[in-house]
Amino acid sequence: TQLLEQSPQFLSIQEGENLTVYCNSSSVFSSLQWYRQEPGEGPVLLVTVVTGGEVKKLKRLTFQFGDARKDSSLHITAAQPGDTGLYLCAGQHLWGGTASKLTFGTGTRLQVTL
């Protein structure tokens, strides 16, 4: 059972447009990570958010962790073809100082065309 639902599942936009990807859960996570994966490669870590309400920026990418630490969003400004890929959120619990396994979201496939 997927505990993290991402929306949209697929997004095709033109270069220069803005977009937001959502990652929602009914569970509270200790931390949440965003990855980007290109075809035939492993996921690459983009960011880790750990505090409710936290906002982190990575160039044109803005990540936000929900106040209740149940959801997160990724906003891309002025998308470029190089942003094309599969975006995955992944939540993690921390119990007594021990980290759990990652629970991956359903994924959002982004295609940016010229």
Q: Which is nearer to other proteins, 18 or 30 (CB)?
A: 30
The minimum distance between CB 1 and other proteins, in angstroms, equals 10
Q: Which is nearer to other proteins, 4 or 79 (CB)?
A: 4
The minimum distance between CB 28 and other proteins, in angstroms, equals 16
Q: Which is nearer to other proteins, 18 or 41 (CB)?
A: 41
CA angle 76, 113, 37 (to 5 degrees): 60
Q: Which is nearer to other proteins, 68 or 94 (CB)?
A: 94
> Rounded to an integer, what distance in angstroms lies between the CA atom of residue 28 and that of residue 26?
7
Residue ranges in contact with other proteins by CB under 8 A: 2, 31, 33, 35, 40-45, 48, 50, 88, 92, 94, 99, 101-102, 104-107, 109
- HSE at residue 22, side-chain half, CA atoms within 13 A, is 8
Residues 6+ apart with CB under 8 A from 47: 33, 34, 56, 58, 61, 63
The minimum distance between CB 90 and other proteins, in angstroms, equals 8
The minimum distance between CB 61 and other proteins, in angstroms, equals 16
Distance (Å) of CA 102 to CA 17, 32, 39, 85, 105:
31, 9, 21, 20, 10
